[in-house]
Amino acid sequence: MMHTRRRCWPLLALAVLATFVICACGQSDRTRIGVIPKAVAHVFWKSVHAGAIAAGREADVDIEWKGPPTETDFSRQIEIVDSMINARVDGIVLAPTEATALSTVVERANRQGIPVTIFDSAINTDKYVSFVSTNNYDAGVLAARQLAKLLNSKGRVIVVKMVPGSASTTQREKGFEETLTREFPGVQILAEQYCMADRARALAVSENMLTAHPNVDGMFASAEPATIGAAKALRSRGLDGRVRLVGFDFSDTIEKDLRDGAIDALVVQDPFNIGYEAVKTIVAKIGGKTPKKRIDSPATVVTLDNLADPTIDALVHPDLDKYLP
């Protein structure tokens, strides 16, 4: 029995060694970048995904895309970042759902030598490579000026906001409100409600405010789901074209509402470019370069009058099929 055991040990050692060699050979030596959006369903995030893939192809790196189901699920987003860290990706690109809640896990990645670029929304830490985003305050300024122009600088408005704690939409809402106060004292905000990044809830809060304030003249919706819900509320009450609506972002549904007159104007970001530039900063950092700490992506006012312009058309109709399955 003792001799049998002695003969088995070398065989067992060889088996373990073979397993190790097979596993080692199966591991890829390609650069892997984890890209984590706030959510995955909205067209905005799909455009970000396409931009990230474009940058990945250009740099010959692998993009690992994963996000929470909704923009309010910051606990799930923290889990995803943790899983990327544990998987030892080479870099992380993150749109934080909440500025404070995500800061700890970003600092953990930094301590473990994994560079992180933040995009779309700011975060309450400086332990990141770059911040790539629309200047959301300035985008809110654009929205305020556009709505004031539609109202001839006088009227009553309501606001469909997004999610408390979301730095991007909070900044654009702040830019909108402060610009009306500073530049257009004749335009009064009667009410504001959060839709929690949900179209159905955006419809409900829009209808609630329209019921409470039947004399309203205008509306501002600060992101894609808020815009879709607000437009639907106006249509359901026959107020489309009478109550002027300035929304944010772009999708097929929003385009139809713009063409049908339920939406008067949109402030549109360039999510494809945001995803592209964010991945490029991590590629540069991995390659030993120092990217800019802040990279602004422009916002543009889109109306029915300029929708056919080639530059606007390219902005609002990116070729997602070229990059996404």
Q: Mention every residue, 6+ apart, whose C-beta is less than 8 A from residue 280.
A: 55, 59, 291
Q: How far apart are CA 267 and CA 210, in angstroms?
A: 22
Q: Average pLDDT of 113-122? A: 98
- DSSP string across 142-207: HHHHHHHHHTTT-EEEEEEE--TT-HHHHHHHHHHHHHHHHH-TTEEEEEEEE-TT-HHHHHHHHH
Mean per-residue pLDDT over the chain, rounded = 93
3 state DSSP class of 119: strand
Whether residue 27 is predicted with pLDDT greater than 60 in this model: the reply is: no
DSSP type of residue 91:
E
Residue 29's pLDDT is what?
Answer: 87
Each domain of the chain, given as residue ranges in start order, spans 32-134+270-297, 136-268
Residue 13's pLDDT is what?
Answer: 43
Going by CATH, does the domain composed of 136-268 fall within 3.40.50.2300?
Answer: yes
Q: How confident is residue 5, by pLDDT bands cut at 50, 70 and 90?
A: very low
* Rounded-to-5 percentages of helix, strand, coil across the chain: 50, 20, 35
Residue 19's pLDDT is what?
Answer: 43
Inter-residue contact 278 to 95 (CB < 8 Å): no
Q: For residue 71, with 0-12 CB atoms within 10 Å meaning exposed, 13-18 middle and 19 or more buried, which class applies? A: buried
Residue 100's pLDDT is what?
Answer: 95
- DSSP string across 256-318: HHHHHTS--EEEE--HHHHHHHHHHHHHHHHTT----SEEEE--EEE-TTTTTSHHHHHHHS-
Whether residue 28 is predicted with pLDDT greater than 70 in this model: the reply is: no
Residue 102's pLDDT is what?
Answer: 97
Q: Do domains 32-134+270-297 and 136-268 have the same CATH topology?
A: yes
The distance of Cα 232 from the centroid of its chain, to the nearest Å, equals 23
Residue 33's pLDDT is what?
Answer: 99
pLDDT tens digits, 185-195: 999 999 999 99
Q: How confident is residue 122, by pLDDT bands cut at 50, 70 and 90?
A: very high
Residue 325's pLDDT is what?
Answer: 86
Residue 161's pLDDT is what?
Answer: 99
Residue 199's pLDDT is what?
Answer: 97
Inter-residue contact 102 to 81 (CB < 8 Å): yes
Angle between helices 167-183 and 136-150 (to 10 degrees): 40
pLDDT tens digits, 52-94: 999 999 999 999 999 999 999 999 999 999 999 999 999 999 9
Closest by Cα among 171, 77, 101 to 133: 171
Q: How confident is residue 3, by pLDDT bands cut at 50, 70 and 90?
A: very low
Homologous superfamily of 32-134+270-297 in CATH? Response regulator (3.40.50.2300)
Residue 20's pLDDT is what?
Answer: 41
Identity of the residue numbered 210: L
Q: Mention every residue, 6+ apart, whose C-beta is less than 8 A from residue 284.
A: 290, 291
Give the global pTM: 0.86
Provide, rounded to the nearest whole percent, the portion of the chain with pLDDT above 90. Answer: 90
Closest by Cα among 39, 38, 43 to 224: 43
